[in-house]
Structure 1
């Protein structure tokens, strides 16, 4: 959740047109799911790099050609066009659209923020093994289902003052 929040803050701050009263305060489950799917390949790549010496090619994080990593890459590519309207909303674009230049800039910022936020997840070699086990267990699931599980876990642990996820009606 911290990574998504950091990304949205960066997006809002970069918008010269942003006005506090117009800024949205939350993402719907579908928008949050798409953001997770967009983040996943960069997060997995960062974790894989941190775990190079701890994993074999037979493990999910140790193999860039693993089914899970390929599935998340495909889901990420599909999610990007669906993330754009939420991104435009957070950037307070009145027409709800970003120019190609803005979209490219925001995607670059997003990937950088994701990579930086993921770097602290792996603290010791055992963390690599745990992360790989989680991915191995999740590998048969479609990426969208795993994103949904992440959202539900986030909702269960949600702080009262967190507005990142919209309340369900």
Structure 2
């Protein structure tokens, strides 16, 4: 449960897909910790919006993630915009693994074209994998860790996701 709670916060802001998901369904982005932190920073606003949309039917309107929505979004967007160029390089590298030509295309895309692709990718992961029964826990953890700067949240996400990739079975049988 502790592993889920840490991942719930960081993942609800960047990639909740890794939390409580069977190892066979986890996405391995194959990024080092620094790249993962940059990716997390860039992805946080889209992930937050997706978590909010997923949890809206099950949480009250006064839930932390809704009551603090404007403040959270402003803070996350500012750092996300600064991190996006680095995340774009990682996205192109990931794409090139499966298709070198696609990696070249993505590397040449302007940020205003590539950004919506990242946002949709993150939104899809979050929407598919956030269990609405865990929205209350996600909201409580978000409230506890919200005072941290976005860079710290991204670093926590990077550590958690790097560990999840290195130890895919950890947290699936235990930790929930």
RMSD: 3.2
More helix by share: 2
**Is 2:135 the counterpart of 1:128?**
yes
Partner of 1:79: 83
Partner of residue 118, structure 1: 126
SS in 2 for 1:157: helix
Once the 2 structures are TM-superposed, how far is the Cα of residue 6 of structure 1 from its aligned partner?
Answer: 6.3
Equivalent residue pairs, number? 140
Pairwise CA distance, 1:115? 1.0
Deviation per residue, 1:130-160 (Å, 9 max, x gap): 1111110111100111111122222333346
Kept in 1: contact 2:35–2:87 (CA 8 A) = yes
Partner of 2:156: 149
Distance 2:115 2:77 in 1: 15
CA contact 2:45–2:77 (8 Å) conserved in 1: yes
Taking the aligned partners of 2:47 and 2:145, their CA distance within structure 1 comes to 15
- In structure 2, distance between residues paired with 1:83 and 1:60: 28
Note the residue ranges of structure 2 that are not aligned, 5 or more in a row: 1-14, 19-25, 169-176
Larger Rg: 1
CA deviation after TM superposition for structure 1 residue 69, in Å: 3.0
Using the size of structure 1 for normalisation, the TM-score is 0.65
TM-score normalised by structure 2 residue count: 0.63
Q: 1:58 to 1:133 in 2, by over 3 A?
A: same
Tell me whether 1:138 sits opposite 2:145 in the alignment.
yes
